[in-house]
């Protein structure tokens, strides 16, 4: 059975991107806007159909990540400068966003 890969360290790089160093040695980067556009919460994605409800034009180019919080042992929650904070990003999802195996 494959074990999920956990982050070893989570911080911000010198370009203001979220940086995750994973326990398998990979490092991935995400801009705040990239994460905001991928938000999987019920306000941003229709629960049953998976259709995107979020209009990308409403997300500022210069949106900032204000807070990053661990959710249990499997996910991160972000607070952005547009006051959105309901998305739960699983580690699996964050790895897939960066083109890595979960």
32 lies in the site for Zn ion, by CB under 5 A: no
Q: How far is the CB of 43 from Zn ion (least distance, A)?
A: 5
Pick the binder of Zn ion from 37, 41, 75, 97 (CB under 5 A). 41
Q: What is the CA radius of gyration of the chain?
A: 14
> Residue 94 is inside which H or E element, if any?
helix 91-97
> Residue 91 is inside which H or E element, if any?
helix 91-97
Q: For the window 49-78, what string marks contact with Zn ion as x by the rule CB under 5 A?
A: ------------------------------
For 37, phi and psi rounded to 5 degrees? -70, -25
Q: What residue ranges bind Zn ion (CB under 5 A)?
A: 39, 41, 43-44, 87
């Amino acid at each position: 059975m494959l074990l999920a890969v956990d982050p070893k360290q989570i911080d911000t790089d010198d370009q203001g991107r979220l940086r995750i160093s994973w326990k398998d040695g990979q490092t991935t980067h995400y801009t705040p806007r990239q994460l905001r556009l991928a938000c999987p919460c019920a306000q941003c994605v229709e629960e049953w159909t998976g259709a995107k409800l979020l209009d990308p034009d409403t997300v500022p180019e210069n949106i900032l990540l204000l807070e990053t919080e661990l959710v249990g042992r499997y996910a991160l929650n972000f607070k952005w400068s547009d006051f959105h904070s309901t998305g739960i990003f699983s580690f699996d999802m964050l790895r897939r966003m960066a083109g890595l195996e979960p």
